[in-house]
RNA sequence: GCCGCGAUAGUUUAGUGGUAGAAUUGGGGACUGUGGAUCCCCUGGCCCGGGUUCGAUUCCCGGUCGCGGCCCCA
């Protein structure tokens, strides 16, 4: 092989592409059925935008470069930032809510492993301009609906609330910046470092007890919510629980199976309210196939602050999860192969192919195969019908249509050929 | 960034310190207008660089790529 693919990238062959396009279609149709409309942003953005709200670790994993004019650019590592940039640039004055969806490739410079590639695809939605619970609930429900439509069985939805955590921290006098650090430690599960930081920030024992108590709450809705209420009795964070509960009440109308985990923090500083993650457990280390929640980003990016929430599917992982679970026989094969019995009839075969294409996908044998070989080819490729173009039939204004499955043959008038697709 | 395993026709593989077979795929023929069988022919390969050696596809080192794990995961 002279040239090989760049590390961590993939070529997609026709069969896999057919499966990917099918899944993509289900996602698009679901998003659109809720009124989301597709947008597209550039593959690269200014490095400042991408790096703005990101820590060192994230910048380290960017594909970044300078263009010929010395501008610092980066390939997008995700789509929430570009989409919000687009919103601020173009859509701030449009009627709310604004519903956007995307299906795009992203790039991260990481060591490839199972379910992790340097070029990967994300499909997601952003709901901008409303923070009513029915909106947030709907966003979560859409993610679940997609997976259900795809027939994925083995997945778990986990819901948490960064809003509650932030409220507790704010009540304890922790500034925004420190909140980020704390949430990061929570996300990583670094309990020891977390306790040290809390000590350093002089969080009172009572507040610490409440925070750690909340973090440990996970499981069934009723239990988690009532325990959280008890912990937060008489505190401002109680109102966050109430909002959380009303989101869940709306969610319950559409999704029954989920668990709560108030220890979910998600990695990024801009998450502010309800957050959720979906896992396909059989994928192992890279099991998270979807992540999202409510966040505040418009203000940080220089726009007018507005509530937003959304999610992104790790498209490639959704594919892996589906393929691990079931056979996906989705392929778009040619319907008809046109074969002339002799080279002198090639011209007729070309014309006949064009006629057939008005109603069915059709390929002309381009290898000048003999009839027997052509039938073998149709058979091995799973092409269900062969149209044989021969002198004898042409003299009668006909061609022979062969059903490859049954071996049945019949003569068809050229005049009927145009609508042949309806009969196959 | 780190660790383990690996790399031989398009694919799956055998094998060797003296440059390699097989199966399968692909093209053609036996069969000059009828497929899934059979037989025959053809095409096609030792990841890259360095070292050891008379000689390396084989042994050693490095790289690249793949699979998987750690870190990380927006």
Give residue-wise pLDDT tens across range A126-164: 999 999 999 999 999 999 999 999 999 999 999 999 999
> Domain containing A379: what range?
336-422
User: A346 and A281, same structural domain?
Assistant: no
Q: What CA–CA distance (Å, rounded) separates A307 from A74?
A: 27
Find the Å distance, CA of residue A122 to C1' of nucleotide B62.
37
Find the Å distance, CA of residue A1 to C1' of nucleotide B9.
12
Find the Å distance, CA of residue A287 to C1' of nucleotide B23.
38
User: A237 and A154, same structural domain?
Assistant: yes
Q: Is residue A397 part of a domain?
A: yes
CATH value at residue A348: 3.40.50.800
Question: Residue A126 class from Cβ within 10 Å (0-12 exposed, 13-18 middle, 19+ buried)?
Answer: buried
Q: What CA–CA distance (Å, rounded) separates A30 from A33?
A: 5
pLDDT at A196 over 90: no
Find the Å distance, CA of residue A44 to C1' of nucleotide B37.
56
- Tokens coding A97: 């809510």
Domain boundary among A271, A305, A325: A325
Residue A399, CA: closest nucleotide via C1'? B33
Q: Please provide residue A125's backbone torsions phi and psi, each rounded to the nearest 5 degrees.
A: -130, 155
Find the Å distance, CA of residue A64 to C1' of nucleotide B36.
54
Q: Is residue A394 part of a domain?
A: yes
Cβ proximity of A30 and A146 under 8 Å:
yes
Residue A118, CA: closest nucleotide via C1'? B73
Residue A342, CA: closest nucleotide via C1'? B33
| pLDDT 10s digits, A52-75 | 766 667 788 999 999 999 999 999
Instruction: Quote the number of domains for chain A.
Output: 2
| pLDDT > 70 in chain A, percent | 99
Question: Residue A339 class from Cβ within 10 Å (0-12 exposed, 13-18 middle, 19+ buried)?
Answer: buried
Find the Å distance, CA of residue A1 to C1' of nucleotide B58.
21
Contacts (Cβ under 8 Å, ≥6 apart) of A395: none
List bases in chain B with any atom under 7 Å of a protein Cβ: 1-3, 25-29, 31-36, 47, 64-74
**For residue A55, what pLDDT is reported?**
64
User: A62 and A165, same structural domain?
Assistant: yes
Residue A58, CA: closest nucleotide via C1'? B74
What is the band of A347 on the pLDDT scale with cuts at 50, 70, 90? very high
CATH value at residue A308: 3.30.930.10
**For residue A191, what pLDDT is reported?**
82
Residue A383, CA: closest nucleotide via C1'? B35
Find the Å distance, CA of residue A358 to C1' of nucleotide B12.
41
User: A142 and A75, same structural domain?
Assistant: yes
**Interface pTM, i.e. ipTM:** 0.89
Q: Kindly report the number of other CB atoms within 10 A of residue A408's CB atom.
A: 9
> Considering only CA atoms, which residue is closest to the C1' of nucleotide B34?
A372
Find the Å distance, CA of residue A71 to C1' of nucleotide B47.
37
Domain boundary among A293, A325, A357: A325
Residue A402, CA: closest nucleotide via C1'? B34
> Considering only CA atoms, which residue is closest to the C1' of nucleotide B26?
A377
**For residue A54, what pLDDT is reported?**
64
> Considering only CA atoms, which residue is closest to the C1' of nucleotide B74?
A268
Q: Is residue A5 part of a domain?
A: no
Average pLDDT over residues A400-412: 93
pLDDT at A168 over 50: yes
What is the band of A1 on the pLDDT scale with cuts at 50, 70, 90? very low
Q: Is residue A6 part of a domain?
A: no
For residue A288, the surrounding DSSP H or E stretch is: strand A288-295
What's the mean pLDDT when you consider all of chain A?
Answer: 93
Find the Å distance, CA of residue A113 to C1' of nucleotide B6.
15
A237-245 contacts: CB < 8 A, separation 24 or more?
A237/A164, A237/A167, A237/A168, A237/A171, A239/A167, A240/A161, A240/A163, A240/A164, A240/A167, A241/A161, A241/A164, A243/A133, A243/A163, A243/A273, A244/A161, A244/A163, A244/A164, A244/A274
Residue A408, CA: closest nucleotide via C1'? B34
User: A138 and A102, same structural domain?
Assistant: yes
Domain boundary among A302, A325, A348: A325
- Tokens coding A374: 């052509």
Cβ proximity of A384 and A405 under 8 Å:
yes
- Tokens coding A77: 């590592």
């Amino acid at each position: 092989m002279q040239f090989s693919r760049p590390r961590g990238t993939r070529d997609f062959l026709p069969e896999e592409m057919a499966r990917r396009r099918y899944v993509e279609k289900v996602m698009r149709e679901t998003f659109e059925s809720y009124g989301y409309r597709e947008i597209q942003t550039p593959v690269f953005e200014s490095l400042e935008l991408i790096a703005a709200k990101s820590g060192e670790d994230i910048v380290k994993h960017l594909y970044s470069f300078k263009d010929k004019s010395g501008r610092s650019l980066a390939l997008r590592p995700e789509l929430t930032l570009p989409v919000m940039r687009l919103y601020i640039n173009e859509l701030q004055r449009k009627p709310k809510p604004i519903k956007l969806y995307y299906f795009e490739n992203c790039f991260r410079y990481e060591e490839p492993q199972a379910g992790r590639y340097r070029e990967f695809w994300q499909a997601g939605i952003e709901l901008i301009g409303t923070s009513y619970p029915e909106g947030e609930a709907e966003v979560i429900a859409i993610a679940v609906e997609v997976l259900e439509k795809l027939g994925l069985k083995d997945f778990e939805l986990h819901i948490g609330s960064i809003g509650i955590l932030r409220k507790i921290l704010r009540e304890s006098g922790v500034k925004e910046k420190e909140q980020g650090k704390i949430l990061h430690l929570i996300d990583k599960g670094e309990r020891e470092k977390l306790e040290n930081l809390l000590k350093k920030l002089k969080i009172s024992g009572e507040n610490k007890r409440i925070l750690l108590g909340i973090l440990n709450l996970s499981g069934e809705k009723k239990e988690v919510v009532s325990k959280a209420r008890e912990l937060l009795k008489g505190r401002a964070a109680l109102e966050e629980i109430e909002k959380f509960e009303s989101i869940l009440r709306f969610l319950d109308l559409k999704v029954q199976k989920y668990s709560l985990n108030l220890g979910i923090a998600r990695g990024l500083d801009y998450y502010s309210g309800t957050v959720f993650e979906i896992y396909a457990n059989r994928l192992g280390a890279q099991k998270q196939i979807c992540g999202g929640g409510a966040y505040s980003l418009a203000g940080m990016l220089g726009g007018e602050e507005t509530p937003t929430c959304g999610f992104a599917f790790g498209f490639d992982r959704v594919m892996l999860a589906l393929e691990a679970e079931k056979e996906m026989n989705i392929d778009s094969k040619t319907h008809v192969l046109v074969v002339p019995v002799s080279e002198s009839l090639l011209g007729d075969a070309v014309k006949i192919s064009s006629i057939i294409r008005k109603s069915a996908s059709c390929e002309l044998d381009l290898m000048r195969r003999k009839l027997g070989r052509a039938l073998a080819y149709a058979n091995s490729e799973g092409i269900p019908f062969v149209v044989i173009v021969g002198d004898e039939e042409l003299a009668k204004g006909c061609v022979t249509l062969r059903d490859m499955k049954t071996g049945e043959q019949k003569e068809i008038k050229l005049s009927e050929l145009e609508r042949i697709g309806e009969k196959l």
